[in-house]
């Protein structure tokens, strides 16, 4: 079996390719609106509450994963983290699909709520980009058996990922009154 350093080196290139490619592709696709391009597509307006729920589920699973590892249950911890990654991928696919088929929703709140909304939204977006390599590196360290290095990085990754998941739900709850069906 490869030692953990060889395994990490094997995946490092892919981690950085994904960490750069995912935000770039999402940004490009976010700018592509099929309706505005003249395609007769049905808006996927049912998706926001689903992907907000997936964000909430991710938060719950992350907390459960940390509780599992604190109890020494490595197998459950690993399964839950894999499920969190799958939820994040599903969220991203639905988020992009929604924005490619629907007209942009503008936040209609006023006063301090508007500032709060944009602070939460911007911090959510920035951390959702930054978190990608953190999650992938932390995951590879865990599956490669580099547990001390995994644990050290997970102490940074976990609160960031949890923040992204929770603020995804908050952003949805704040903008949902302004969705047009």
Handedness of CA 87, 54, 68, 5 (dihedral sign): positive
pLDDT band at residue 69, thresholds of 50, 70 and 90? Answer: very high
Identify the band that residue 1 occupies on the pLDDT scale cut at 50, 70 and 90: very low
Question: Average pLDDT for residues 159-167, to the nearest whole number?
Answer: 98
Determine contact, residues 1/118, Cβ cutoff 8 Å.
Answer: no
Read off the tokens for 105. 């929703």
DSSP string, 89-114: HHHHHHHHHHHHHSPPPPP---THHH
| Pair of tokens at residue 35 | 């309706």
How far, in Å, CA of 54 to CA of 52, rounded?
A: 5
Work out the pLDDT band at 2, boundaries 50, 70, 90.
low
pLDDT number for residue 181: 56
What Cα–Cα distance (Å) separates residue 92 from each residue in 84, 140, 150, 151, 163?
12, 21, 25, 26, 16
Position 127 scores a pLDDT of: 97
Distance separating alpha carbons of residues 21 and 16, to the nearest angstrom: 8
pTM of the model: 0.91
d(CA 63, CA 81): 10
Q: Is residue 86 scored above 90 in pLDDT?
A: yes
**Choice between 107 and 36, residue whose per-residue pLDDT is larger:** 107
Residue 174 or 43, more confident: 174
Give the contacts of 80 (CB within 8 A, at least 6 positions apart). 61, 62, 64, 65, 68
- Residue-wise pLDDT for 97-153, tens only, equals 998 998 888 999 999 999 999 999 999 999 999 999 999 999 999 998 999 999 999
Average pLDDT over residues 64-87: 98
Q: Label residue 157 by pLDDT band (50, 70, 90).
A: very high
């Amino acid at each position: 079996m490869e030692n953990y350093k060889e395994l990490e080196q094997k995946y490092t290139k892919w981690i950085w390719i994904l960490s750069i490619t995912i935000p770039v592709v999402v940004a490009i696709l976010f700018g592509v609106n099929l309706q505005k391009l003249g395609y007769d597509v049905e808006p996927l307006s049912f998706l926001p509450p689903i992907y907000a729920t997936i964000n909430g589920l991710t938060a719950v699973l992350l907390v459960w994963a940390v509780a599992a590892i604190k109890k020494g249950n490595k197998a459950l911890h690993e399964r839950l983290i894999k499920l969190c990654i799958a939820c994040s991928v599903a969220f991203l696919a639905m988020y992009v699909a929604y924005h490619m088929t629907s007209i942009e929703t503008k936040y209609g709140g006023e006063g301090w709520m508007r500032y709060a909304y944009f602070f939460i939204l911007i911090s959510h977006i920035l951390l959702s980009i930054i978190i990608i390599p953190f999650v992938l590196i932390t995951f590879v360290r865990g599956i490669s058996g580099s547990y001390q290095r995994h644990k050290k990085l997970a102490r940074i990754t976990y609160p960031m990922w949890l923040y992204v998941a929770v603020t995804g739900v908050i952003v949805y709850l704040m903008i949902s009154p302004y969705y047009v069906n």
